[in-house]
Amino acid sequence: MNGTTRRCFAVDLHDDADQIARYRVWHRAGGPPAAVTAAIRADDVRELEIWLVGDRLFMILEQGDGYDAQAKAARDAADSDVRAWDALMRTFQKPLPFAPDRTWVEMERIYALSEQPGPDGEASPTDRDGAPTSL
């Protein structure tokens, strides 16, 4: 099998402009330690993006069929570089209000355009910025 599964997660950052700027620097191309990037790729993560708005982070993770969350957690726990990175990132992050003991809470998909009825090629109405107007 050669499938890909997309999962999405959210966490907040401490609402401090300097801290958020530092977090952004750590995530620029080449910012994360090479060992951390290698560990992510070794677990069949095909793509990983982090998006920021205000102090809220949104992560999109695309995993292949070889991804095993429990095995990844065990490997990460045994890897000193990954543990150090995680500890550093947690200094910037704060849990979401409804999940005080967790970071990177998995989100539930509640809408997909591809699952909506309608004629092929029909575009969603958008506002002036190109964002959907009524979703």
Contact 32, 85 (CB under 8 A): yes
Positions marked active-site? 14
8: β partners: 60
Identity (one letter) of the amino acid at 78? A
Query: Taking a C-beta distance cutoff of 8 angstroms, is the pair 7, 106 a contact?
Result: yes
Asked if residues 45 and 63 have their Cβ atoms less than 8 Å apart, the reply is: yes
Determine how many CB atoms are found less than 10 A away from the CB of residue 16: 12
